[in-house]
Structures are given as C-alpha cells and as structure tokens.
Amino acid sequence: MLETTWFILWGLLWAVYFILDGFDLGLGSLLPFIAKNEGERRIVYNAAGPFWDGNEVWLITAGGVTFAAFPKAYAVMFSALYAPLLILLFALIFRAVSFEFRNKVDSNAWRSLWDGVHFITNFLPALLLGVAFANLFMGIPIDAQGVYQGTLFTLLNPYGLAGGVFFVVIFAMHGALWLAFKSEGALQTRAIGTALILWPVVLLLLLAFLGLSAFYTQLFANYVANPALFIIPVIVVLGLAGVRAFLTSGKILLAWCSSAVFLLGVTFFGVIGMFPGMIMSSLNPEWSVTAFNAASSPLTLKIMLGVALVMVPIVLVYQFWMYRLFSHTLKAEDIKNDSHAY
C-alpha cells in the first residue's frame, strides 16, 4: 500500500512540474516566433520571471522523491539516462543564466545572443523530457543488474522522438495560453492565435502518440484489465476540449487551467499504464525496476509520507499566493520603468 501511494505521489510530482515549468519551457520555445520587438520580448521573459525558479523546485522534488522512496529506480534511471539528464541539467543552468544576463549589457547583439540561448535552453529540456518519458513507457535495455546496455542514440528511436515532439508542442500551447493571460494588445492576440493554431496539432499528435503507444508499449494493459482507469484518457480529452472551448469564448485563464488538466491526464495516462513498473527492461521483463522491488523500507516511506502531508500543502499554498500576487497583466511601459524586471 505504501509503495502504491508513493508511486502515485511520484507521478503527481512530475505532473505538477510539467504543468508549472511546462509553460516556462513553452514560452522560451516560442520566443523567436511570437515576440516582434524588444518590448514584447521583455514581456515574454517577465511572464515567466517571478515563477521559473520556483517551478524548477518541483523537478528537484520529483528527483528527491525518486531517490528517497525508490532508491533503486533512482540509481538505474540516473545511470541509464545519464547523458540526456546531464544535457537537461546544463540546459536548465544556462536558461537561468539567460534570464539574469540578458539585460546586463545595453547591446542588441548581447541581447540577441542570450535570446538564442534562452530559446535553445527551453526547447531542449522540453524535447529531452518527452524523449526520456517515452522511453520509460516503452522500456529501455537494462540487464539484471540494472546496467544500461545502450547509448544515447538508443533513446532516439521513433517512439522516443515522437514523445519529444509531443512534449515540445503541448508545452508551446501551454506557454502561449499563459502569455495570452499575462499580455494585452497585439501580443495577446498573437498568443491566442498561436494557441489556436497549435491546438489541432496537439490533437493530431495525441492521437498519433496513443497509436504508437499501443504498438510500442504495454501501457494499455492496465486499462484493459481495469476499465475504470479509462477515466484518465477521458480527463485528457476533456482537458484538451476545454482549452478550445474556453479560448474561443475569451476565458483565457480557464483555457490555461484546462491545459493544466490535460497535462495532468497525459502524465497519469503514462504513469498508471506503467504501474507497477518504473523502469521496464526491454531485454527481459523480469529485470524491470518496479515500485515494489525498488522501494525503501516501510518505515522510511511512513516517515516521508508524514513529512509530505505537512509540507506539500504549505508549498502549494505559498505558490498559489505567489501566482495570485503576480497575476497582473504585463505592460511594456511598466517593465521598462521597473529596474527589477528582466
């Protein structure tokens, strides 16, 4: 029971990270295409400005929970996926640098350099996260000792790349919705238009990814065995439909919330489909790392659960307050006169 509880919490933490840092990654990936002048570029930066570093905390939390609750899974995952995770780490480091360094020198060339860095260091994590999770859904070549028997290019298979493209596009739509909520005028119109353009692309990629999942993975086995679980794909569909419905009716914040529900559903579709597996072996299913053979002792899981039940709500309340505090619309004139703005 404790193992199952922590497996669900593990999935939930990844979902929260995708929802919160997903719009940051989407904003950065859209920067060269959606912002037409310096004022608009600064609005894109500051739409993520108060939130991006706090959002990354959920990535650290998800990794920390993996380490504490499922140490074997942590060891195998960070060994097998060492190369993409290292690239992800450096990308996130340089993303932080791009936020802080961009306006340190009053030069168009300097700002253009860091705009390019910002785009790459948001696009790459979105792509790599999709590739990594798609490979976890499919299974990777690990032996009985949990040693990875492949290379970086082993992960760049058709299903892994499909997952990467899927994540890039859904984060881009999520980011466009957030920018529409935080901006006004021509930039807001462009952000709404971008989200509307990306919506059918997300739908097509969703259908394609589901089809590829049926071919490449065993994700649907749990759903066939427990039909009640099909509520999760229903949530995915309702979330995506809500994005379109709310956006066309002008309810931008509700459209973003629907996108968050969509991301939550997509994450849990894969996580529940994997259960109890965490890192499936494509060489031999018996060598897979599961929530049961990778878990810490019951005492450790109990102590962690007590801490989580106290601390996670506190963090959520704080983040809700922060988002509410910085929920105002951004204006280029205000940013220009704000010495603390990015």
Q: How many CB atoms lie within 10 A of CB 341?
A: 16
Are 74 and 296 within 8 A, CB to CB?
no
Q: What is the DSSP string of 150-167?
A: S-GGGG-SHHHHHHHHHH
Task: Please write down the long-range contacts of 183-191, taking CB distance under 8 Å and 24 or more positions apart.
Answer: 183/43, 183/47, 183/329, 183/330, 184/329, 184/331, 186/36, 186/40, 187/34, 187/35, 187/40, 187/43, 190/34, 190/36, 191/34
Per-residue H/E/C for 86-153: HHHHHHHHHHHHHHHHCCCCCCHHHHHHHHHHHHHHHHHHHHHHHHHHHHHHHCECECCCCCECCCHH
Render pLDDT for 271-284 as a digit per residue (tens, 0 to 9): 999 999 999 988 88
Q: How many CB atoms lie within 10 A of CB 122?
A: 29
Ramachandran assignment for 328, one of left (phi > 0), alpha (psi -120 to 50 degrees), beta (any other) = beta
Structure confidence at residue 274 (pLDDT): 92
Tell me the pTM: 0.94
| Domain limits, the chain | 2-336
Name every residue whose Cβ is closer than 8 Å to that of residue 27 and which is 6 or more positions away in sequence: 44, 47, 48, 122, 175, 178, 179
Q: Is 9 helix (H, G, I), strand (E, B) or coil?
A: helix
**Going residue by residue through the chain (342 aa), what tens digit of pLDDT does each one get?**
889 999 999 999 999 999 999 999 999 999 999 999 998 999 999 999 888 888 998 999 898 889 999 999 999 988 888 888 899 999 999 999 999 999 888 899 999 999 999 999 999 999 999 999 999 999 999 998 888 888 888 899 999 999 999 999 999 999 999 999 999 999 999 999 999 999 999 999 999 999 999 999 999 999 999 999 999 999 999 999 999 999 999 999 999 999 999 999 999 999 999 999 999 988 888 888 999 988 999 999 999 989 888 988 888 898 889 888 888 888 877 787 776 777
Render pLDDT for 199-219 as a digit per residue (tens, 0 to 9): 999 999 999 999 999 999 999
Name every residue whose Cβ is closer than 8 Å to that of residue 300 and which is 6 or more positions away in sequence: 68, 69
Gap between the Cα atoms of 6 and 112, Å rounded: 44
Render pLDDT for 47-88 as a digit per residue (tens, 0 to 9): 998 888 889 989 998 988 899 999 999 999 888 888 888 999
- What would the two tokens of residue 263 be? 């991301």
